[in-house]
Structure 1
Amino acid sequence: MTLSPIKPPPRPRPAALLDLTPDWLLWVADNRLWDCAPASMLDTMITAGQDTETAAAAIGQIEQDPVFQAARRQQQMLRKLESVCNNLQKVWQQDPAYAVVEKRRGVGRDEFLQRYVYGCRPVMLTDIAEDWPAMKRWSPADLSARFGHLEVDVQVGRNTDTLFEQNKEKLRQRMKVSEFADLVVNGGATNDHYLTANDEMLRRPEFMPLLQDIGRMPPICDPALLHTAASFWFGPAGTRTPLHHDTLMLFHTQVVGRKRWRFVSPLQTPLLYNRMGVYSPIDLDAPDFNRYPRLREAVVLETVLEPGDTLFLPLGWWHQVSSLEMSMSFSYTNFDAGVPNEFKYENPSIGNW
């Protein structure tokens, strides 16, 4: 018979830690796990009105707390995973063409799968939309003429909420297509209003004529599935999509206007402070390196989509998008690549602590 080892009695939590409120106890643990300097932490706590002796004792004692020690063990495992990603990223970046988003024509199915899908690298296809009726037809006037009487859900008031994308449901407003087209044409450059994929207007039969304006598709797409996997984007110059990653692969064709896309590799996720869902709080257009110092290590790719360009967004790549002009775009996920375009992410829900 094998006896279980005798477990020592649990150590009581030191008195200084018991004297802290739960919020301050969490704050101390968080900042030590971030390896913040104890002296800086003490200054912050004293400035906030905490007792000097209690604060100093708590900072010193947290490392001995069993729960904190368990967190340190998990931290070691996480840092190992981060180092694996970092090393793979270093190998990826050794390719002299890594930081360049390729522009290609005439790419066949097999090459596309091997080089871009399995190779997980973005690419711009410049020949896909050459025969699309949309390229000659789509405009605010055309939308109003064909669909102006129909209503859509648009995001309005985005400038009032820094988390406009995360809170998009609160900003949803119903209006006629003609009303929104007038707002885009006459409202100037702004991020305040945008018709995005969230509306899912292309699932509605009355908007099916828009799908008839789509022609040839990339070699790994099934046109028969397009009606189940397409989205329409329409907004003024100045609209922005914050830094985030999608949960699947997609194509995005620019029909009217230009959009600037910025990308960061999924292997550099630890550098992007991803604390809520699929979003990063970082603005690549105005990076705050003081608040987010690890961002300095990230390699940012950039390209501008012109009318007729089709971007392939591979799995997990972080991207931030800005409309440089009034824009109409079409995205689709009707892949026929031999494997489902479905993936699972364990997303954080910590918030921006």
Structure 2
Amino acid sequence: MASQKTIHVPIFTNVDRDVFLQDIYPGHKPAVLRGVYLGPCVDKWTVEYLGQKGGEKEVKIHVSTVPQMNFLQKNFVYRNISKLTMLHVDRTLPFNEFVKRTSEKKHSDFFLCEDESYYLRSLGEDARKEPADLSKQFPELAEDFHVPPFFDAHQFFSSVFRISSCGLQLWTHYDVMDNLLAQVTGRKRVVLYSPQDALHLYLKGDKSEVVEIDSPDQNLFPDFVKAARYECTLEPGDLLFIPALWFHNTLALQFGVGVNVFWRQLPVDRYDRKDSYGNKDPVAASRALQALERALHHLDELPPEYRDFYGRRMIQQIQKRTFVGCPSSTSTNTTTASSPSIKPA
């Protein structure tokens, strides 16, 4: 049975803003940054401390009977905790109780089953319009976290607070903005795939249909093995640079707390104004995909052999105009930028 090529994400130490912008960022590839100061959160954010600071603030969470959450099949419950409590008379689940349960492996109080998994992704006050911001949703905890100064303040988009049960695995997806994943506590495995392997990932929107990335069904997804697998294990205090459009899948090896910081690298008007998560395609890309769908509908008017022929012509034009590394490409080849001059740790 064929297996994917695995590439270990390089680890860099003693990275400051200049080193990041000059030697790491131009390569547009994932990198683990070890030893960057994140503030007192690395030492302070224990279960007890989080519960004390977060208090009884109600939050929105995902609850699943299995540790592998699949967004496409929606194998989890996601709604406001105050609504979930209707399933349990006179029960509430404020933030401090949520943190306590998430740190447990077996629960005496639960919604679905005693070994259910929990996941929190913080949201803006109006999730449809406002991106998450740690300083607004959890100001007491934001004081402990220092945002790495690797981008200009006007580029900031969101800071997403995340807490997950041990063993929780999230679906493979991409975001349209660069981001830094700060693993504050706990250990986490992250698997990434290059945007250039998108054709092998069986996409449905911004997500991959391949749920079992460690043991994929080769009958259903025969080309998945062709995608190179980038992998790293984040230790407490590590930062992972995830470039825009890179697919990523996370597995919590321990109960863990993290913060994702997203920033815009394109002008503001290039992004969808209604995008509060950072995962909606840029306006130009969305229009192009819509135009392609209309073009394919036109081809439906032709017999199969004509559709095949003109479909191949369309593919050839797309390759010439857009594929990175194609001799006739008019796009900038961002992946052939000079490799980092500093040595991985």
TM-score range, shorter chain: 0.5 to 0.7
Q: Unaligned regions of 5+ residues in structure 1, if any?
A: 1-92
Kept in 2, the 8 Å contact 1:201–1:207? The answer is no
Is 1:207–2:138 an aligned residue pair? yes
Task: For 2:117, give the aligned amino acid.
Answer: D
Number of corresponding residues: 248
Kept in 2, the 8 Å contact 1:154–1:172? The answer is yes
CA offsets 1:163-205 (integer angstroms, 9 cap, x no match):
3467499622323102212211334496632112457764674
Task: For 2:46, give the aligned amino acid.
Answer: S
Is 1:181–2:110 an aligned residue pair? no
- How many Å apart are 1:221 and its aligned residue? 4.8
Give the Cα separation in 1 of the matches to 2:254 and 2:68: 22
State the match for 2:34 in structure 1.
126
Structure possessing the higher relative contact order (Cα contacts under 8 Å, 6 or more residues apart) = 2
Name the stretch that deviates more: 140-149 or 100-109.
100-109
CA offsets 1:197-243 (integer angstroms, 9 cap, x no match):
45776467462122111226143253x876x6111111210111111
Is 1:265–2:194 an aligned residue pair? yes
Name the stretch that deviates more: 208-217 or 168-177.
168-177
- How many Å apart are 1:126 and its aligned residue? 0.7
RMSD: 3.3
Give the Cα separation in 2 of the matches to 1:219 and 1:167: 35
Task: For 1:121, give the aligned amino acid.
Answer: K
Distance 1:208 1:171, change over 3 A: same
State the match for 1:320 in structure 2.
249
Distance 1:107 1:178, change over 3 A: closer
CA offsets 1:116-152 (integer angstroms, 9 cap, x no match):
43321011111223x5110111122112112221111
Distance 1:158 1:331, change over 3 A: farther
Give the Cα separation in 2 of the matches to 1:162 and 1:214: 27
State the match for 1:196 in structure 2.
121
Kept in 2, the 8 Å contact 1:147–1:178? The answer is yes
SS of 1:333's partner is strand
Name the stretch that deviates more: 197-206 or 179-188.
197-206
Is 1:302–2:231 an aligned residue pair? yes
SS of 1:128's partner is coil
- How many Å apart are 1:328 and its aligned residue? 0.4
1:135 to 29, 38, 42: 42
State the match for 2:10 in structure 1.
102
Give the Cα separation in 2 of the matches to 1:107 and 1:147: 31
Kept in 2, the 8 Å contact 1:156–1:173? The answer is no
Is 1:237–2:129 an aligned residue pair? no
Kept in 2, the 8 Å contact 1:158–1:193? The answer is no
State the match for 1:172 in structure 2.
79
Q: Unaligned regions of 5+ residues in structure 2, if any?
A: 82-92, 108-114, 125-130, 272-280, 294-345
Distance 1:178 1:270, change over 3 A: same
State the match for 2:58 in structure 1.
151
SS of 1:262's partner is strand
Task: For 1:286, give the aligned amino acid.
Answer: S
Kept in 2, the 8 Å contact 1:125–1:310? The answer is yes
Q: Which has the larger radius of gyration?
A: 1
State the match for 2:312 in structure 1.
none
Name the stretch that deviates more: 173-182 or 102-111.
102-111
2:206 to 244, 260, 278: 278
Distance 1:329 1:163, change over 3 A: same
Kept in 1, the 8 Å contact 2:132–2:159? The answer is no
